[in-house]
């Protein structure tokens, strides 16, 4: 299809929304992003962008801007919760080495500037209240005419129920605590996972190693907060992880502000696009953070959706091709993330010991093979190497 002048309305100015906006604007489409928030702002938190997600940023012409604000990851290490190292994965063994630790606010800023530079119009304080095939898009302050409406509006998408029926997201029984603290690790660009009974804690450096990002996940029977995230109490966080080793205690002692997130899921959407509308990112497939792939999947979706429209004869064919090119991969990543929660949280001592021993041996004897098991995720370049 010729995209020049095609009117594209994107609901949501998050990672997926801003990326797809730039992807379409670079193809001469006329793009507006409608973001409900009054400012594009983020709570302090980090993101891991693995090579597959970075490929999209590079193809969008934002590779250098991301490198400028990120920390290039060298290793991922798995530790038992008391501190002993179980496995270290050397990211230098990956064929594509662009694995980055980024502050979310920095990535959003790179994407926002990239979208504006490509001619995208960003309207803040614009909340969508209805979106449906047609396409139909209504904001609080009136209707919008567009040729394609993209729902990049996250877990509470207004478009998703119009395509897939109403289904409440379900609580997974896991709560994530997120914080950033002054860094103490002397510049080692490592993501470290401490795995304990029914809990794990991930830490990695951001912004030249000056701060450390923490995601601490615990299993919990219910999530009673009214919102999906809220301020947490640092002392409660420390108490919940009090039996973890000294490495973790040193980090937790520095926490003075922490946010808690209930981890919720929808199943992967059955219908991703119809009648001039398309879902993308968390709106189509919220993913647990245990493979650090939610934002990367949103970036891959963004590239493929723009590419599918460019390649297809008409809108219906493009939307069908988009879902066909994305669905199987996304389902595999979502399932892998579900599986990791179980592996990290083994609580029965002998079982944990056996699992950790197997990992240790695997890492020592066949390190290359340990990395190859991630090739299907990290080695995949949805842009075809642009």
Ligand X SMILES: Cc1cc2nc3c(=O)[nH]c(=O)nc-3n(C[C@H](O)[C@H](O)[C@H](O)COP(=O)(O)OP(=O)(O)OC[C@H]3O[C@@H](n4cnc5c(N)ncnc54)[C@H](O)[C@@H]3O)c2cc1C
Classify residue 165 as exposed, middle or buried by CB count within 10 Å of its CB (0-12, 13-18, 19+).
exposed
Residue 152 as a binder of ligand X (CB under 6 A): the answer is: yes
Answer for which of 135, 276, 289, 363 binds ligand X (CB under 6 A) is 289
Tokens standing for 285?
């497939």
Of 34, 81, 99, 204, catalytic: 204
Residue 47 as a binder of ligand X (CB under 6 A): the answer is: yes
* Nearest approach, Cβ of residue 17 and ligand X (Å): 5
Answer for which of 3, 6, 8, 16 binds ligand X (CB under 6 A) is 16
71 and 189 in contact (C-beta within 8 Å)? Answer: yes
- Measured from the CB atom, the residue of 73 and 352 that comes closer to ligand X is 73
Residue 15 as a binder of ligand X (CB under 6 A): the answer is: yes
- Measured from the CB atom, the residue of 254 and 259 that comes closer to ligand X is 259
Residue 11 as a binder of ligand X (CB under 6 A): the answer is: yes
In the block, residue with structure tokens 């922490």 = 258
Residue 114 as a binder of ligand X (CB under 6 A): the answer is: no
Residues in contact with 154: Cβ distance below 8 Å, sequence separation at least 6, in sequence order: 12, 14, 281, 282, 283, 286
Binding mask 69-108 for ligand X (x = CB under 6 A): ----------------------------------------
How far is Cα 66 from Cα 181, in angstroms, rounded to an integer? Answer: 22
Binding mask 163-182 for ligand X (x = CB under 6 A): -------------x-x----
Region binding ligand X by CB under 6 A among candidate stretches 30-38, 167-175, 230-238, 240-248: 30-38
Residue 220 as a binder of ligand X (CB under 6 A): the answer is: no
The Cα-based distances of 86 to 50, 76, 149, 242, 372 in angstroms read: 22, 11, 47, 20, 18
* 204 catalytic per annotation: yes
- Measured from the CB atom, the residue of 35 and 356 that comes closer to ligand X is 35
43 and 205 in contact (C-beta within 8 Å)? Answer: no
Residue 31 has phi, psi (to 5 degrees) of -115, 135
Task: Give residues 260-279 in contact with ligand X (rule: CB under 6 A).
Answer: 261
- Measured from the CB atom, the residue of 352 and 374 that comes closer to ligand X is 374
How far is Cα 56 from Cα 280, in angstroms, rounded to an integer? Answer: 15
Of 140, 61, 66, 133, the closest CA to residue 98 belongs to 66
Helix (H) / strand (E) containing 160 = helix 160-164
Tokens standing for 183?
């860094």
How far is Cα 46 from Cα 209, in angstroms, rounded to an integer? Answer: 12
Answer for which of 70, 232, 276, 294 binds ligand X (CB under 6 A) is 294
Tokens standing for 25?
């604007």
Q: How many CA atoms lie within 13 A of 32 on its CB side?
A: 14
Region binding ligand X by CB under 6 A among candidate stretches 292-300, 306-314, 353-361, 378-386: 292-300
Tokens standing for 265?
């899921």
How far is Cα 141 from Cα 75, in angstroms, rounded to an integer? Answer: 49
- Measured from the CB atom, the residue of 138 and 360 that comes closer to ligand X is 138
Region binding ligand X by CB under 6 A among candidate stretches 23-31, 92-100, 267-275, 281-289: 281-289
- Measured from the CB atom, the residue of 35 and 381 that comes closer to ligand X is 35
Pairing label, strands 170-182, 258-265 = antiparallel
* Nearest approach, Cβ of residue 142 and ligand X (Å): 14
Of 76, 120, 132, the closest CA to residue 99 belongs to 76
Answer for which of 65, 94, 179, 292 binds ligand X (CB under 6 A) is 292
Region binding ligand X by CB under 6 A among candidate stretches 15-23, 85-93, 328-336, 356-364: 15-23
Residue 13 as a binder of ligand X (CB under 6 A): the answer is: yes
Q: Which residues are catalytic?
A: 204
Q: Which positions touch ligand X (CB under 6 A)?
A: 11-17, 34-37, 47-48, 127-128, 152-154, 156, 158, 176, 178, 215, 261, 281-283, 287, 289, 292-296, 298
């Amino acid at each position: 299809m010729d995209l020049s002048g095609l009117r594209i309305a994107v609901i949501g100015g998050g990672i997926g929304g801003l990326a797809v906006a730039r992807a379409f604007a670079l193809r001469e489409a006329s793009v507006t992003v409608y973001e409900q928030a009054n400012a594009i702002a983020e709570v302090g938190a980090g993101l891991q962008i693995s090579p597959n997600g970075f490929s999209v940023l590079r193809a969008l012409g934002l590779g250098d801007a991301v490198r400028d604000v990120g920390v290039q990851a060298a290793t991922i290490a798995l530790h038992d919760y008391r501190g002993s190292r179980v496995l270290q994965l050397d990211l230098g063994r990956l064929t594509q080495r662009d694995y980055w630790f980024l502050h979310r606010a920095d990535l959003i800023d790179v994407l926002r500037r990239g979208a504006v530079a490509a001619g995208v119009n960003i309207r803040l304080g614009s909340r969508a209240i209805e979106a449906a095939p047609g396409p139909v898009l209504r904001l609080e302050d009136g209707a919008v005419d567009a040729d394609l409406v993209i729902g990049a509006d996250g877990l509470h998408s207004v478009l998703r129920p119009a395509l897939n029926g109403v289904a409440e997201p379900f609580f997974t029984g896991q709560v994530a605590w997120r914080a950033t603290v002054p860094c103490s690790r002397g510049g080692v660009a490592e993501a470290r996972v401490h795995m304990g009974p029914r809990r794990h804690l991930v830490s990695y450096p951001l912004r030249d190693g000056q701060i450390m990002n923490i995601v601490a996940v615990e299993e919990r029977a219910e999530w009673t907060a009214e919102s999906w995230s809220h301020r947490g109490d640092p002392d409660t966080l420390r108490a919940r992880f009090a039996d973890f080793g000294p490495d973790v205690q040193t980090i937790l002692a520095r926490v003075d502000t922490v946010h808690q997130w209930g981890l919720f899921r929808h199943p992967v959407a059955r219908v991703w696009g119809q009648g001039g509308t398309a879902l993308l990112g968390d709106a189509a497939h919220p993913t647990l953070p245990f493979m650090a792939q939610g934002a990367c999947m949103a970036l891959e979706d963004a590239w493929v959706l723009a590419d599918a429209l460019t390649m297809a004869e008409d809108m219906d064919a493009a939307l069908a091709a988009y879902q066909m090119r994305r669905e199987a991969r996304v389902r595999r990543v979502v399932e892998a993330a579900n599986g990791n929660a179980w592996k990290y949280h083994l609580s029965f001592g002998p079982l944990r010991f056996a699992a950790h021993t197997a990992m240790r041996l695997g890492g020592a004897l066949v390190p290359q093979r340990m990395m190859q098991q991630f090739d299907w995720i990290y080695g995949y370049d949805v842009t075809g190497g642009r």
